[in-house]
């Protein structure tokens, strides 16, 4: 009998957990460099790096379930545009973020690199103005 933990299996189930700081807009950035699916025309594997950026509302995405979720596409045929939007739709349905952007950077196929960027904004949500710390430092009396 093996004492190794049970093997993880691909799954479309996305687990979440409560946002520990729901009163603040903060940016979560994730890099998923091992995404694979199949070309629906040729059956050949397509490889991509997924870049997920989001501002959570009430919930956040649990990382292991995200790994298993992206792994679940490995043997499925999808066009780049379709799979990027489908993943975004599933993530939005799971956590209803204030803002979410998914960038899929597919590796070269037929001499062409494809990047697909899809976004979601919660109705009524506005990004806070970005603070320019360089400008602040220029005006500070602690700098020469």
Burial of 55 (0-12, 13-18, 19+ CB in 10 A): buried
46 is catalytic: yes
Q: Which of 25, 37, 46, 144 is catalytic?
A: 46
115, β-bridge pairs: 105
Which residues are annotated as part of the binding site? Answer: 61-63, 80-81
132 is catalytic: no
**In 3D, which of 68, 45, 46, 30 has the Cα closest to residue 115?**
46
Q: Which of 25, 39, 53, 57 is catalytic?
A: 39
Burial of 25 (0-12, 13-18, 19+ CB in 10 A): middle
Which residues are annotated as part of the binding site for substrate? Answer: 61-63, 80-81
What residues are labeled active site?
39, 46
């Amino acid at each position: 009998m093996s004492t190794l933990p049970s093997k993880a299996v691909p799954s479309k189930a996305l687990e979440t957990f409560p946002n520990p700081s729901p009163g603040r807009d903060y940016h979560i950035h994730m890099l998923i460099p091992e995404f694979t699916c199949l070309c629906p025309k040729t059956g050949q594997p397509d490889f991509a790096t997924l870049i997920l950026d989001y501002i959570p509302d009430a919930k956040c995405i649990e990382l292991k379930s995200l790994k298993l979720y992206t792994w679940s596409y490995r043997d499925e045929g999808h066009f780049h545009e379709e799979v990027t939007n489908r993943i975004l739709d599933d993530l939005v349905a799971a956590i209803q973020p204030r803002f979410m952007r998914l960038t899929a950077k597919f590796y070269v196929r037929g001499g062409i690199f494809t990047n697909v960027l899809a976004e979601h904004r919660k109705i009524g949500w506005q990004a806070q103005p970005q603070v320019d710390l360089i400008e602040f430092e220029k005006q500070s009396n602690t700098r020469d």
